[in-house]
Amino acid sequence: MITHFIFHSKKQLKKGKHVLPLRTSRHTMHKDILQILVTESEIAQLAQKLGQKINEDYHDKHPILIGLLKGCVPFLSDLSRHIDLKVDMAYMSVSSYHGGIKSSGDVNIKMDLDISVHGRHVLIVEDIVDTGNTIVTIVELLKHRGALSVEIVTLLDKPEGRTKPYVPKYVGKTIPKLFVVGYGLDYEEYYRNLPYVGVLKPEVYSTKEND
């Protein structure tokens, strides 16, 4: 048990006001992780490597980086710092998981772009490409809207999970068919803030998924 204290001003203490400790329990989020699959340092190296490749391929194209919320946030932030180009950034909120561990197959656009992609080169930034349902749908949509090109840059690729064929152009690391969380990836909206990518212990989600 960790105890935190509130420090009051000397004036308050002179008046004899009682100072009570605030008691908080240590966070146990890391205990739900079976193993770390991609470390913090490895993520940093992958972001740098992918950023350098994008610099080479898009040096004369003024691309739009489109992040798919919410999972893209940490990766887009780190990746963009290694992209030495003039870029536009935009976001879409798209879901096919709805908080669980299996894709529903239905892609729901919750928040659309606030920028036109017509006549532009587009790079979709993803935390992971799994079933391919979301990516294939969004790529087709952006091409229909007139994008000159649409490519994917993803930190993780899980090809064994595909239900629709798709090969992302820029991949940080290919992983096996495991349910992973951290660094933007979630289960029931938790674990996104882990600084690494880890395999979630089955007992964390098996009870609910079997209900």
> Active-site residue 130, yes or no?
yes
Q: What is the DSSP letter of 182?
A: B
Cis peptide before 70 (omega within 30 of 0): yes
Q: Count CA within 13 A, CB hemisphere, residue 59.
A: 5
Q: Do you know the residue count of the chain?
A: 211
- As beta bridge partners, residue 92 has 68
Could you count the other beta carbons within 10 Å of the beta carbon of residue 39? 13
- Please report, for residues 82, 113, 131, 159, the alpha-carbon distance to residue 177 in angstroms, rounded to integers and kept in the order given: 29, 31, 10, 8
Active-site residue, from 130, 157, 186, 211? 130
Residues with a known catalytic role? 130
